[in-house]
Structure 1
Amino acid sequence: MDHLVLTVIAPDKPGLVEKLAQCVAGHGGNWLESRMSRMAGQFAGILRVAVPAEAYEELVQALQALDAQGIRVVVAQSGIEPSCTWKPIHLDLVGNDRPGIVRDITRLLSELGVNLERFTTEVVPAPMSSEPLFHAEALLAVPLGLTLDALQVRLEALADDLMVELKLRPED
């Protein structure tokens, strides 16, 4: 079996996932995992599928043909995951919204060699004041050589500058 990673984006409407699933299953493929979401009228997702080697090219062509229906699919062949050289850490961050907050956080994480495994953000009104609050949740892939304490210290220094509340905990 060959493994593919697909990125999908289309105007949101019922039946999008079913069309993708039909296409994958129709070529003997197996839907392994996915993350999908609707945002601002668009539907986007990333998914990993396995397909028999002999059906690989036909599946890729069928997925690209979905463009005629307004469904853009970008196909990448999945590589082999490297051996685990990181530990999972959950990050929860809340603070006053301002431009550049994602840039500043991700710059620091990148400098420390931390990878984002999952990253979700939103801006919501504060309970009492209705001021915009930025909220981020992430699953971080922290290098084994970086201690949780060292990561906490560096992020807390940044959190003070950004005026955000930050929590780190090992992933369950």
Structure 2
Amino acid sequence: MKKLFITTVIGPITPGIIKSLAEVTRGFKGEWVTSKVIKLDGHFSAMMKVGIPPEAEAELKAELESKFASLRFFFDDVITEVGSASRPLHLTLDCGDRAGLTRDIVNILTNLDLVIEHMEFNRVHVMPIGQTVFSSNLNIAVPQGISTESVVELLEGVSEDARVNVL
């Protein structure tokens, strides 16, 4: 049976870095069960759920840190979630930007006990209308008993011009 752990790695983007990380993992008979990579301004951050024979775990971690000295690695155990059943909800939210908007969105979601699994947002200045537009993609876990409509209604309340689309 394979041991599961989470690896988070942060550092500068170099050609083939993700492929090289995967090759080292495979060299220890490990595999990436799930991975997410984000690139931004010449840097990247990646999270991988790694499955590996238990006897190779420590050696793989040491090899990653040694071979990729310019990267920062963080290792953590997989957390098995315990709790009530939830369903995924994927949304987009678009509106005019304002100070505190992201905070207000996060507060709405956390006050409903929703789990934010992914939140990506962008702010873009639109010259023809002379304002900055806020656009967000959200993946959230919604507990049973909370309707999609109530989540949409609350999120549309963050701004007069807010528009929420369920994907």
* Pair in the same fold by TM > 0.5: yes
Q: Secondary structure at the match of 1:90?
A: strand
Alignment correspondent of 2:163: 165
Alignment correspondent of 1:148: 148
Q: 1:47-58 maps to which residues of 2 (within 5 A)?
A: 47-58=48-59
Alignment correspondent of 1:129: 129
Alignment correspondent of 1:74: 74
Using the TM superposition, give the Cα deviation of residue 116 of structure 1 relative to its aligned residue in structure 2, in angstroms. Answer: 1.0
Q: Secondary structure at the match of 1:159?
A: coil
The answer on whether the counterparts of 1:67 and 1:73 sit within 8 Å (CA) in structure 2 is no
Post-superposition Cα deviations, 1:81-124, rounded to whole Å, max 9, x if no partner, equal 44661111111111222332111100110010011112211223
User: What is the aligned-residue RMSD (CA, Å)?
Assistant: 2.0
* Runs (5+) with no aligned partner, structure 1: none
Number of residue pairs aligned between Structure 1 and Structure 2 = 166
**Cα distance change of structure 1 residues 31 and 104 upon mapping to structure 2, 3 Å threshold:** same
Using the TM superposition, give the Cα deviation of residue 64 of structure 1 relative to its aligned residue in structure 2, in angstroms. Answer: 2.5
Query: Does residue 1:26 correspond to 2:27, yes or no?
Result: yes
Q: Secondary structure at the match of 2:157?
A: helix
The answer on whether the counterparts of 1:5 and 1:47 sit within 8 Å (CA) in structure 2 is yes
Instruction: Compute the TM-score of the two structures, normalised by the length of structure 1.
Output: 0.86
Query: Does residue 1:85 correspond to 2:85, yes or no?
Result: yes
Identity of aligned residues (%): 27
**Cα distance change of structure 1 residues 50 and 84 upon mapping to structure 2, 3 Å threshold:** farther
